[in-house]
Amino acid sequence: MIEFYAKAELPTRFGSFKIYVFKNEDNKDHAVLVHGNIEGENNVPIRIHSECLTGDVFGSMRCDCRDQLLTSLKFIGSQERGILIYLRQEGRGIGLLNKIRAYNLEDSGKDTVEANVEQGLPADNRHYNFAVDVIKYFKIKSVQLMTNNPEKIKYLEDNGITINRRIPVIIQPTEFDKFYLETKKDKMGHML
Give the residue numbers marked as catalytic.
124, 126
Sort 192 into a burial class: Cβ within 10 Å, 0-12 / 13-18 / 19+. middle
Cα 48–Cα 53–Cα 55 angle in degrees, nearest 5: 80
73: Cβ contacts below 8 Å, ≥ 6 apart? 12, 14, 33, 47, 84
